[in-house]
Amino acid sequence: MKQIGMGLSRIGIATAAMAFSLPGMAAVDRWKLNMTPGVTDVSQQVYDLHMIVLWICVVIGVLVFGAMGVAMFRFRKSRGAIAEKWAHNDKAELVLTIIPVLILISMAWPATKVLIEMADTRDAEMTIEVTGYQWKWGYRYVDSGVSFISSLARDSDDTRQLGSGLDPHSVKNYLLDVDRPLVIPADTKVRFVITAGDVIHSWWVPALGWKQDAIPGIINDQWTLVKEPGIYRGQCAELCGKDHGFMPIVVEVKPKAEFEQWLAAQQGANAGAEPVATLAEPVAAEAAPSQG
């Protein structure tokens, strides 16, 4: 009950904070409505696909609901409408079966094309192994052996505790920041092989245009090719237990040369250090430790 009491006072603080921050806080993109076009070719195509289908649905919606609106207005009893008796019209029904089929084909066609492209992980220039754990991510650069664990940043973690009394608005990238981001080179086709060590997770960075489930004992692959250096954020997207909401993903895309430097530095630092036990940790099955 004490917690609830504290919670309620937090709500007060939060409301005040929000009222305050409405004009300020340019950093956060508020009242956002739509999907991000992302930063890769693929993500752009996914976005376009999303917009095509959305607009088709909007148009159909306008037509159908418009017709309903007209019917509701014109054929209401209070305006003296008298009901007619007909109850079918085979031609109309046929037409209204065929048209949707055609519309669907026009959506399925581009969708198929994009999907085939996304499935093609050949010719990747480097491979990164991603392993989901409760509740953090393990990364391993397969070719260079660099590996590390990436977990929720400290300030977010402190703030997110129940009744912490801290204000999420004051934390930069609240819940979307990690201690060690994944670093990848720009302009490079990077292949991810994704798995998990305990339960199912899902690796998702919206700016890359896809998410991929991390399944214990199984490898899934995906790829990306980012042109522009930058920092892109995402989250675990499959319920994985109590801290599912607290295992973000941060991808830092560096220019190729800078990336090489970074990797070399990591290799130096990693040498001697215990390599992170990533997958192939087949004890995975204990997957189900019963807590009795």
Partner 1 sequence: MAHDASTHHDDHDHKPHGFVNRWLYATNHKDIGTMYLVFSLVMFFLGGLMAMVIRGELMFPGLQLIEPEFFNQMTTMHALVMIFGAVMPAFVGLANWMIPMMVGAPDMALPRMNNWSFWIMPFAFTTLLLPLALKVFFDIGGGGPAGGWTLYPPLSLQGGDSVAFTIFAVHMMGISSIMGAINIIATILNMRAPGMDLLKMPVFVWSWLITAFLLIAVMPVLAGAVTMLLTDKFFGTTFFSATGGGDPVMFQHIFWFFGHPEVYIMILPAFGIVSEIIPTFSRKPLFGYKAMVYAIASIAFLSFIVWAHHMFTVGMPLGGELFFMYATMLIAVPTGIKVFNWVFTMWKGSMTFETPMLFALAFVILFSIGGFSGLMLAIVPADFQYHDTYFVVAHFHYVLVTGAIFSVMAAVYYWLPKWTGRMYNERLGKIHFWASAISVNVLFFPQHFLGLAGMPRRIPDYNVAFADWNLVSSLGGFAFGLTQLLFAYIVWDCSRNKSLAKATDQVWEGAHGLEWTLSSPPPYHSFTTPPVITDSMLAHGNVAH
Partner 2 sequence: MGQTETHDPNIYYVPHASRWPIIATLALFTTMIGAALTVNKVAVGHYVLYAGLAALVFMLFGWFGDVIRESVKGFYNRQVDVSFRMGMIWFIFSEVMFFAAFFGALFYARMFVVPWLGGEGDGALTHEFIWSGYSSAWPTNGPLKVGGMFETIGAWGLPFLNTLILLTSGITVTIAHHALRAGERGKLLTFLGVTVALGMLFLYFQATEYYHAYHELGLTLGSGIYGSTFFMLTGFHGLHVTLGTIMLLVIWFRCAKGHFSRDHHFGFEAVAWYWHFVDVVWLGLFLFVYVL
Answer with the entry of ligand CUA, ligand HEA, partner 2, none that 236 interacts with (C-beta below 5 to 8 A by kind). ligand CUA
Phi (first) and psi of residue 48, to 5 degrees: -60, -45
The smaller minimum CB distance to partner 2, of residues 253 and 279, is found at: 279
67 binds ligand HEA (CB under 6 A): no
The answer to whether residues 19 and 12 touch, using CB atoms and an 8 Å cutoff, is no
Q: CB of 268: closest distance to ligand HEA in angstroms?
A: 43
**Minimum separation from the CB atom of position 240 to ligand CUA (A):** 3
CB atoms within 10 A of CB 37: 17
Q: Tell which positions 195-224 bind partner 1, by CB under 8 A.
A: 198-200, 202, 204, 206, 209-213, 215-218, 220-221
Strand locations in 125-205 (E):
126-133, 136-141, 147-150, 182-185, 190-196, 201-205
In 3D space, the residue among 208, 210, 198 whose CA is nearest the CA of residue 240 turns out to be 198
Interface mask (CB under 8 A) for partner 2, residues 89-108, using x and -? --------------------
CB of 68 to ligand HEA, least distance (A): 11
288 binds partner 2 (CB under 8 A): no
286 is an interface residue for partner 2 by CB under 8 A: no
CB neighbours of 214 closer than 8 A, spacing ≥ 6?
Answer: 130, 131, 132, 194, 195, 196, 200, 201, 202, 203, 220, 238
From the CB of residue 26, how many other CB atoms can be counted at a distance below 10 Å? 7
CB under 5 to 8 A by kind: which of ligand CUA, partner 2, partner 1, none does 280 bind? partner 2
136 near ligand CUA, judged by CB under 6 A: no
Binder of partner 2 out of 193, 205, 237, 249 (CB under 8 A): 193
Binding of partner 2 at residue 128 (CB under 8 A)? no
Of 26-34, 58-66, 264-272, 279-287, the segment contacting partner 2 by CB under 8 A is 279-287
Instruction: Read off the tokens for 58.
Output: 């909007």
| Side-chain half-sphere CA neighbours of 61 within 13 A | 6
Kindly provide the b/e burial profile for residues 194-216, where b requires at least 16 CB atoms within 10 angstroms of the residue's own CB: bbbbbbbbbbbbbbbbbbbbbbb
Q: State the Cα–Cα distance between residues 281 and 234, nearest whole angstrom.
A: 25
- The Cα 135–Cα 160 span in angstroms is 14
From partner 1, partner 2, ligand HEA, none, interface partner of 45 (C-beta below 5 to 8 A by class): partner 1
- Evaluate the CA torsion angle 63, 65, 67, 73 in order and state its sign: negative
Interface with partner 2 (CB under 8 A):
129, 193, 195, 217-221, 279-280, 282, 285, 292
Interface with ligand CUA (CB under 6 A):
132, 135, 201, 236, 238-240, 244, 247
Interface with ligand HEA (CB under 6 A):
57, 60, 64, 100, 103-104
